[in-house]
Every structure is written in C-alpha cells, then in structure tokens.
Amino acid sequence: MASKVSVQTSPSSYPSLTKLKMTPMPCSFEVDSFAKSAHSGVFHLLPLGLRVQNKLEALIDKHMESIGASKLSLSSITTEALWRQSGRYSANSELLRINDRRESGFLLSPTHEEEITSLVSGMVQSYKDLPLRLYQIGRKYRDERRPRQGLLRAKEFLMKDLYTFDYSQEHALKTYEQVRQAYNNIFNELKIPYLVADADSGNMGGKLSHEYHFISPKGEDNVWSCNSCSYIANEELVEKRVDEVPTSDPLVFEGISTDRTTKIIIAVPRPTSQEKIQNLTWDNISSFVNLHAAKKAAPDLDTGIETSTLTSLLPKTTQTTHITDRRLSSPQQSPNIDLTPTLPSSPCPRCPSGKLHVQKAIEVAHTFHLGTRYSTPLNALIAVPDSSEKRALQMGCHGIGISRLIGATASLLSTDKGLNWPKVIAPFEVVVVTPPSLSPSTSASTSTSTSSLSSTTSSSSTPSDAERIYDTLTSINIAADTILDDRADKGLGWKLKDADLIGYPVVVVLGRGWRESGVVEVQCRGLGVREEVEGRDVGGFVRGVLGRL
C-alpha cells in the first residue's frame, strides 16, 4: 500500500530513501543524506544525492543538445602507450595505474582527450563529417595528493567532458563561442552567481581558455576582478597596470631549477610598505614575487620546493640564471617582465579608474581551445576543402565538474537551517509533509479530513489510509516533482526540520489547518514564503512559487 501512495509522486525512491536517510547535518554535505565517504577521497552517492546528480545531468544534456552534441560513454580505462603518444604520460603525476595479469599498462583516465582523439580519428575522414561534438558524463580518477573538502577534491569524481572537432581554426573558434554560450546558459539556469575568468590552459595545450568559478571562502582558486569594468582573470593570467617608478634597492631571492643544476636569482622592486618584509625565505616568496610570471621567464624554475630542501641543494648548482623585474633592468635585459604579485587594490589593466580585488573561488567548469595539441601527435587527420593534403583536426575540450559542482552548491547555499538546493537540481522540487495520523501504517482509521477527500476519484468506497493520502495528493494536484513524507513514526515538527535540512525548495504542510478546514501551508525558504492556501488552489500556488525560483 505504501508503494501505491508513492506512485503518485516519486514512485521509486520514497520508502527506501526514508530508511537510508540519517538526520542530516547542515553545511556538512558529505556526512548527510546525499553522499557518504567510503575511503579517503572516495564517496558513495546515496539516493538523494543520485537524484541531484541526475537532475544536473538532465540540465547539461539539454544544453548540450542545443549545440548539437551527442552523448556517448568512453571506458574509464586507458593505456600508458596512448598517453606516451600524446606526450602527457610523464608530465602527469596524478595518474592511477591498474595492475593486471598481463601488465597491459592500463591507467584510470583522469580525462579523455587521448581516447576520444583516437576514437574519432578512426571514424572521421573528411571535413564533410564535421563539425562533430561528443560528450559524456562519467567517472574520472586522479591520484589526489591530499583529498579534501569532500566532493570538491576527490580521487574518484564525476565530470561532464565535451570534445569538439572542426577542420579549421576559424570553425573551431566559432564552436568555442557556442560552447561558452551553452555554459553560460547552464550556469544561468542554476541561478548561482558565477565568474568567468580568462585562464591559462596549463598542460592541456592550446591557448584560449576560460574558467567558471563559484565565489566561496572554501575555494582554493583566486579570481581577480575589477571593481569598475568587466575585467576578470584567474591568478595565473591576472595582469595589472605597473607603475614605472624604479627602485635601486631590490629584494632578491635564490631559487633552483627542477633539474637542480641552475641557481635562479630573482630580483624584484622592494615594496613601499616596509613593515611586511620579514623572514625573506622561499616559503613566503609569493608575497613578493608573482611566481606565475617568474615561471614564464624561467620555465624550469621549481616553484614547489621548500626552503629546507632548497638550502641543501643550492650549493651544488653549477650554473646561474638571473630574472629581473623590468623596473630594475634595462629594457635589453628582460623586456617587460613584471615580477611583482598583484595585490588587492592594484590598478586595473583595462580601465583607467578601476581597482582589482581578489576572491576565493571554486572552479566548477573549464573551456579549452586545444587546436591540434592532440590531433597532431595522435595523427588524427582529415581531408579538407581546397587542399590535397590532410590536415590535423582542430579540437576543443570543455569540462564541468559534476560532483564538485554538487558539493560546491551544497556548501554555498546552505544556511543554519540546512541545505537549500536550486530548483533545477533539487532532489525533489516539492515535499508534502503529513502528520503521522495521515500516514499509511498508523492505526487511526478515520480522521477529520475525510470529508475533504471525498471529492476525489477514488474507486474504493472504504479507502485505506494509504489510499486517502494518494487521493489527497491527487486532490491538491501538485504538478511538480514531488515527494511525500508519510513516515508514520515521525511527528510533523520533526519532518519539517528534516525537510529544511534536506533543502527542498518548496514544503507543503498538511497540518492542523488541513484537518480542520482543508487549507495547507506552503513554505519556501528561498523566497521567504509561508502562506495558507486552500487545498484546491495548492497546485496553482505551488507552480507560481516554483516559477519565481
């Protein structure tokens, strides 16, 4: 009988969801009803969490469709041989290797550029088959040095990855803009504020790249933006307007190359506020030197080394390189290198009056124009118009961190009452909360609300309790994604608190008002709504509230 009750709204999940659900702890996504840590950096997704994930997948599917992308499902297994061919094997220290009986060199894929390029190159021969846009939503693996913050940085995580294929850079850049627009549409539907930052493409290859960020104190990225114009960039790419005042008393740091042969001496202008200059070791160099800029000037600079190791290695170096901020050197020496870090209130590089400020952010998506970074080494060539020679495919790759986005959303939108899901990815849009006396396994055979149920179309002349709830839901006709909390062993107050903790966007309460006069209370924390509504008007009212979310 309980299953008949549930069929009305959320047929599958209710009875067992209830059973798996622990009392959730607000603001601590991983230990509540949605996901559970199994091992360090490894999570199981519980039924409510899987529903959130499925909603997010459906949202992404819709916008991938809008740009003509087809969904497929690549294996999680790839091979060392393929990654050697692309040149990424040795550079990636986070690859997880699988031991099998044949020593096949199997790896768990952290990303799928190699596999998709290999797949497409075997199936597409001509520009006539392009553009081609293929995506998947699946698990990826990374030997995370320090798994932390739950779903934000795990060893196994879910990604949406889209790969695009064009035959010319011009077409590829148009594709890139279409993907960016689709990404904007996805994030706009989520209704969570986000920043899009110019980004460096790291070891993905290519040159054009953007990051999508949620602003959050939990974030591990720094996003810089101007308080006056639309300039936004991440830590690696942020520029600033540089004052031209030279200084004759530089700060000097000694670093080392990754191969340990070369001492790298870095000189920057001394900051005007002297009080900060204490303990000038390598460990706090980033307060004085923009290491991203230093690394651009000296690509073999080891930026990750610790002072103690550095001190023991420096005496053994046999060569010396200097990198010097442009204000300390003649233009011939190191033209235009600004080695000082961007500081809060630095002048904006793009507008005359703006100042830059920095925010902690969580990167949730990334777009890359790859060009021929993978198609050339993997020999993915196609016939092109107006040429007898085949040409390498122009590619793009575009990721959304599914599990990270879910974790970030849970953490960002939670309040002291509990989680607070955006409508579009909430596990259910609406929860209907009943007192135990309306619940299926209670022994109360009649209730004062029977009269208001008699107008339903139930064919049974003596409806069971379960049938009465089913009929109640039918009579209030909530045409939305609804779950019914009809647990018989919990009181109304407990259930309302639980609904807040789980973070359903809309709560419909069949409380005393329903028994006495057929009115229900509709609550929406996001909009500050708490209103009594006639039973027959509930459907329209709830749809109105959902429409404003």
Which residues form the interface with a copy of itself (CB under 8 A)?
2-3, 11-13, 15-17, 19-20, 22, 36, 38-40, 42-47, 49-50, 53, 61, 64-66, 68-79, 96-102, 104, 106, 108, 115, 118-119, 122-124, 128-130, 132-134, 139, 143, 145, 155-156, 489
Shortest distance (Å) from residue 531 CB to a copy of itself:
32
Distance CA 402, CA 53 (A): 7
Contact 172, 394 (CB under 8 A): yes
Residue 234's SS3 state is: strand
Looking at the Cβ atoms of 110 and 255, the one nearer to a copy of itself is: 110
**Cα 204 to the chain's mean position, in Å?**
18
- Sequence-distant (6+) residues with CB within 8 A of 279 are none
Which region holds residue 532: left if phi is over 0, alpha if psi is between -120 and 50, else beta?
Answer: beta
User: What are 21's two structure tokens?
Assistant: 């659900």
User: Sign of dihedral through CA atoms 79, 83, 88, 90?
Assistant: positive
Shortest distance (Å) from residue 176 CB to a copy of itself:
17
Shortest distance (Å) from residue 262 CB to a copy of itself:
28
> What's the start-to-end Cα distance of the chain, in Å?
34
Shortest distance (Å) from residue 140 CB to a copy of itself:
11
Shortest distance (Å) from residue 226 CB to a copy of itself:
37
Shortest distance (Å) from residue 157 CB to a copy of itself:
10
Beta strands in 257-355, from DSSP E residues, in sequence order: 262-268, 319-324
User: Sign of dihedral through CA atoms 445, 447, 451, 456?
Assistant: negative
Q: For residue 296, with 0-12 CB atoms within 10 Å meaning exposed, 13-18 middle and 19 or more buried, which class applies?
A: middle
Shortest distance (Å) from residue 93 CB to a copy of itself:
8
Looking at the Cβ atoms of 45 and 305, the one nearer to a copy of itself is: 45
Looking at the Cβ atoms of 495 and 525, the one nearer to a copy of itself is: 495
Contact 207, 371 (CB under 8 A): yes
Shortest distance (Å) from residue 108 CB to a copy of itself:
7
Looking at the Cβ atoms of 19 and 276, the one nearer to a copy of itself is: 19
Other residues' Cβ atoms within 10 Å of the Cβ of residue 221: 18
Question: What is the chain's alpha carbon radius of gyration, rounded to the nearest angstrom?
Answer: 29
Contact 264, 301 (CB under 8 A): yes
Looking at the Cβ atoms of 102 and 276, the one nearer to a copy of itself is: 102
Looking at the Cβ atoms of 114 and 467, the one nearer to a copy of itself is: 114
Looking at the Cβ atoms of 136 and 321, the one nearer to a copy of itself is: 136
Contact 475, 467 (CB under 8 A): no
Looking at the Cβ atoms of 66 and 454, the one nearer to a copy of itself is: 66
